[in-house]
Amino acid sequence: MAGIAMTRMRGAAIILAMLIAALAAAVAATVFADQQRWVRMVEHRRDQVQAQALAMAGVQWTRQILDDDARRSDLDHLGETWALTLPPIPMEDGEVRGAIVDAQGLLNINALGAADGSAEQERARLARLFAQRGMPPAALAAMSDWIDADSAAGASGGEDAFYLAQPVPRLAANAPVLRVAELGMVKDVTPQMLAAVLPFLSALPAGTPVNVNTAPREVLAAILGNISGESLGALVADRARKPFTTIAEFRSRLPDSAALASDVALSVRSNYFYVTIQARQGATRSHARALIRRGGGGKPEIVWQVVE
């Protein structure tokens, strides 16, 4: 009996040793997995920080490009260096690329909040653009109420009473917007509606003129109002051959079928530019968007910047 007991004890000891070895192996595997996970997190965070730093450096790069351009020319047009898409610049285990868009080649949505009579032409251009893009007139009215300083709701607009009654209560801005995307909070403006007009709108100080040298076809059509597609194509092709040096020249070179109702808020030079930068470090990507203002005697300044 004693021999049997000893045999059982030895068997139990062996099983216990095997269990301890298995437990040790499991603990070691868990520690190793946690360590690997921690290393990956550290590497990802490092790459994330470096990618964001590259993106912000790209914004600074565009400031220099715009500053150099201002020193060389009094005109801004699509044949200049700043208007070219910046090619991918390789870095160690990464790259940075970007583009500059003339914010003054777009229609300024903040004209909806201007109180002076000179903004009527700008609002008429916005109305024509919205009609071209299939936007209902009510959307423009609601945006006007969102931007203008008063608290009187228009026929199709909305002020504080409307927004406070929503599932997520808020107040109407009653102020110029900083970025066009903010208009997604406006009454009855859907993401699809906003996407239809977003490429042709800017959010700049009221009264900032539109540059006819950089305005896309859709914006030129809204400015002229009565131009045919064929004539518009001819105007854009003529502009590519020789940019306009003055608004008087722009008017004189219009096709016979087109007429410019007003020179209000038009220019051939720009001070505001949108910048988009994409950076990659390893497998991590970062994006930077910024509005840059040029002029005032100093280096171009960043009005706002978003890095993701």
In the prediction, which pLDDT does 238 show? 96
In the prediction, which pLDDT does 1 show? 58
Dihedral angle computed from the Cα positions of residues 69, 73, 77 and 82, in that order, rounded to the nearest 10 degrees: -10
CATH code for 106-267? Answer: 1.10.40.60
Task: For residue range 27-75, list pLDDT tens digits in order.
Answer: 555 544 445 554 445 454 677 888 888 888 889 989 999 999 999 999 9
Q: 201 near 106, Cβ under 8 Å?
A: yes
In the prediction, which pLDDT does 47 show? 76
Task: For residue range 218-253, list pLDDT tens digits in order.
Answer: 999 999 988 999 999 999 999 999 999 999 999 999
Superfamily classification of domain 2-104+271-307: GSPII I/J protein-like (3.30.1300.30)
Dihedral angle computed from the Cα positions of residues 256, 258, 260 and 265, in that order, rounded to the nearest 10 degrees: -120
In the prediction, which pLDDT does 23 show? 55
Q: In angstroms, rounded to a whole number, what is the distance separating the alpha carbons of residues 86 and 89?
A: 8
Q: In angstroms, rounded to a whole number, what is the distance separating the alpha carbons of residues 259 and 227?
A: 8
Buried/exposed 143-158: b ≥16 CB within 10 Å, e otherwise: bbbbbbeeeebeebbb
Give SS3 for 21.
helix
Domain boundaries, the chain: 2-104+271-307, 106-267
CA distances from 97 to 8, 48, 287 (A): 72, 16, 10
**In 165-274, which residue ranges form alpha helices assigned H by DSSP?**
191-197, 217-224, 229-241, 247-252
Residue pLDDT tens, the chain, 308 long:
566 666 666 666 676 666 665 555 555 555 444 455 544 454 546 778 888 888 888 899 899 999 999 999 999 999 999 999 878 888 788 888 999 999 999 999 999 998 777 789 999 999 999 999 999 989 999 999 999 998 888 777 889 899 899 998 999 999 999 999 999 999 989 999 999 999 999 999 999 999 999 999 999 999 998 899 999 999 999 999 999 999 999 999 999 888 888 999 999 999 999 999 999 988 889 999 999 999 877 899 999 999 98
